[in-house]
């Protein structure tokens, strides 16, 4: 496990950022476990940033100085065509400027080591990519399991120790799902917190940008740079906190391993003094009906990319094009009706959550399944994809914020505990996540 404090400690003890970044780059190129993690690497730029950090010493104005960081393959980098995990975008005009988040990472001194692989157009929660390969989940050396998506390579880059943190996007869980399946921490902020400028969109109403790292603290350090300002986060004990343990939908079809880890996590929080109330939260069950016909994600994705995909459909992952095409032919009236229903639903749901510090649920209801099983069966793939997206999507639909923190016992496959709240509750949810992480160990 590689953390910001760990890197800083190595440098304080006589190491150099250049050596640490060089190690990360070399392992990314030579370790068989790192296959398919990157779609592009930036060795010279990363080493230059590391050398600058070594020369400058401790600089509070550059909080990521010399740290190896990865970026998802949907963020613009000046002079490059942004592929978004696809081959049909090859040959499109290069970006003229960096995405806002990429520019902010550079200004903070980050050593950007590479672009990470992802589900094509970010449209999927499993992590498969037939064009660039599927990164293998590092949590199980014995079985090649899915990493989760769509920020698949982002999570694996952190899980393998190739980076202290990764920047991904989250439209229906695409930061939190791979974080949960790979045993990491993922943070989905309120959408407006981090600018989307320069990120290839999936669904502009739901897209958000967030970090994956090995701790809540490291996620908050990255988030402060991405957002342009830190959250005002205080240290709070679990004693006195009040949580809603959601019951509707989120516990359906949960596998025994996840159920046991989740129940153990709830007991741990309760033993530390938190009050946990089982709350129906029936609003979660209303989303499927509100989000008809077809759903905001396919409608907005098709509007953004449909012309290109239609012209090159044979070159698009059929699992992606099949979902994207659900948005074809939807009327403006139907689209606006979804938006109006969602707006009313958000107000009602925020009222239902007003008395709680956070909502708790399993991030996803299963551990990572084998890659081969899902590559072999579209039926299995779409069922797993549905289950992967179901729980975290609630937060995007709410325009809320959420962490996924690991809650499995040592030696078990990773399980994520989702800690969620409404929009602009980011600081409070971070306080809960810090306290929960400490209690869960």
Residue with tokens 């230059």: 48
84: nearest Cα among 110, 106, 116, 111: 116
Per-residue model confidence (pLDDT) at position 1: 84
Is residue 188 among the annotated active site residues? no
Q: What is the mean pLDDT of residues 166-173?
A: 98
On whether the pTM is more than 0.95, the answer is yes
pLDDT value of position 285: 97
Q: What per-residue confidence (pLDDT) applies to 329?
A: 97
For the chain, give the percent of residues with pLDDT over 70: 100
Are the beta carbons of 276 and 269 closer than 8 angstroms? yes
pLDDT at residue number 288: 97
State mean pLDDT over 270-298. Answer: 98
Q: What percentage of the chain reaches a pLDDT higher than 90?
A: 98
Mean pLDDT along residues 155-175: 98
The sheet that has 242-246: what strands, in order across it? 38-41, 111-116, 68-72, 165-169, 209-213, 185-188, 401-406, 416-421, 358-362, 242-246, 275-279
Domains, the chain, ordered by start? 1-286+344-441 (3.90.1300.10)
Look at residue 83 in the predicted model and tell me its pLDDT: 98
Tens digits of residue pLDDT in 12-47:
999 999 999 999 999 999 999 999 999 999 999 999
Please tell me which residue in 72, 152, 169, 208 is annotated as part of the active site.
Answer: 72
Residue 336's pLDDT band, with cuts at 50, 70 and 90, is: very high
Banded pLDDT at 105 (limits 50, 70, 90): very high
Q: Which of 86, 150, 151, 169 is catalytic?
A: 150
Average pLDDT over residues 289-296: 97
Quick: pLDDT tens for 385-441: 999 999 999 999 999 999 999 999 999 999 999 999 999 999 999 999 999 999 999
Residue 168, pLDDT score: 99
Q: Is the pLDDT of residue 59 over 90?
A: no
Measured between alpha carbons, how far is 441 from 437 in angstroms, rounded to an integer?
A: 6
Output the pLDDT for position 57. Answer: 85
Answer whether 420's CB lies under 8 Å from 358's CB: yes
Is 72 one of the catalytic residues?
yes
| Residue 22: Cβ within 10 Å count | 17
Q: What is the pLDDT of residue 198?
A: 98
Indicate if the pLDDT at residue 58 is higher than 90. Answer: no
Select from 434, 395, 406 the least CA-distant residue to 231.
Answer: 434
Q: Which residues contact 196 (CB under 8 A, 6 or more apart)?
A: 100, 204, 207, 208, 209
Cα–Cα distance between 98 and 82 in angstroms, integer?
10
Q: What tokens were used for 433?
A: 């996540």
**pLDDT value of residue 114:** 98
The catalytic position among 169, 174, 208, 321 is: 174
pLDDT of residue 61: 87
d(CA 229, CA 48): 26
Whose structure tokens read 């975290």?
392
Task: Give, as one character, the DSSP assignment of residue 77.
Answer: -
How much is the mean pLDDT over the chain? 98
């Amino acid at each position: 496990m590689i953390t910001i404090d760990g890197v800083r400690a190595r440098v304080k003890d006589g190491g150099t950022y250049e050596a640490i970044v060089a190690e990360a780059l070399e392992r990314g190129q030579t370790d068989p476990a790192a296959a398919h993690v990157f779609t592009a690497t930036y060795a010279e730029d990363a080493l230059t940033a590391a050398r600058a950090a070594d020369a400058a010493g401790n600089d509070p104005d550059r909080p990521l100085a010399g740290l190896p960081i990865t970026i998802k393959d949907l963020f613009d980098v000046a002079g490059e065509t942004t592929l978004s995990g696809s081959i049909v975008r090859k040959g499109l005009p290069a970006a003229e400027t960096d995405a806002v988040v990429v520019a902010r990472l550079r200004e903070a001194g980050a050593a950007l080591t590479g672009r990470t692989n992802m589900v094509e157009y970010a449209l999927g929660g499993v992590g498969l990519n037939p064009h660039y390969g599927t990164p293998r989940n590092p949590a199980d050396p014995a079985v090649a399991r899915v990493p989760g998506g769509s920020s698949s390579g982002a999570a694996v880059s952190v899980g393998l120790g190739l980076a202290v943190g990764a920047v991904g996007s989250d439209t229906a869980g695409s930061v939190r799902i791979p974080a949960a399946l790979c045993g990491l921490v993922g943070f989905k902020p309120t959408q407006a917190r981090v600018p989307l400028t320069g990120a290839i969109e999936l669904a502009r109403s739901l897209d958000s940008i967030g970090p994956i790292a090995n701790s809540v603290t490291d996620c908050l350090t990255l988030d402060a740079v991405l957002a342009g300002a830190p959250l005002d986060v205080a240290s709070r004990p679990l004693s006195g906190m009040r949580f809603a343990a959601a019951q509707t939908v989120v516990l359906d079809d949960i596998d025994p391993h996840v159920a046991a880890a989740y129940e153990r996590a709830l007991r741990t929080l309760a033993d530390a003094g938190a009050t946990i109330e089982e709350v129906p939260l029936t609003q979660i069950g209303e989303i499927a009906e509100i989000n008809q016909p077809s759903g905001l994600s396919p409608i907005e994705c098709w509007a953004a990319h449909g012309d290109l995909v239609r012209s090159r459909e044979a070159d698009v992952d059929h699992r992606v094009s099949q979902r994207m095409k659900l948005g074809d032919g939807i009327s403006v009236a139907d689209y606006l009706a979804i938006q109006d229903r969602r707006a009313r639903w958000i107000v009602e749901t925020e009222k239902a959550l007003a008395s709680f510090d956070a909502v708790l649920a399993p991030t996803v209801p299963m551990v990572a399944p084998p890659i081969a099983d899902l590559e072999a069966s579209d039926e299995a793939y779409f069922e797993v994809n549905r289950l992967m997206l179901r729980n975290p999507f609630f937060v995007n639909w709410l325009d809320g914020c959420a962490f996924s923190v690991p809650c499995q016992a040592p030696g078990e496959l990773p399980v994520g505990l989702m800690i969620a709240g409404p929009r602009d509750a980011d600081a409070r949810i971070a306080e809960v996540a810090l306290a929960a992480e400490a209690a869960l160990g």
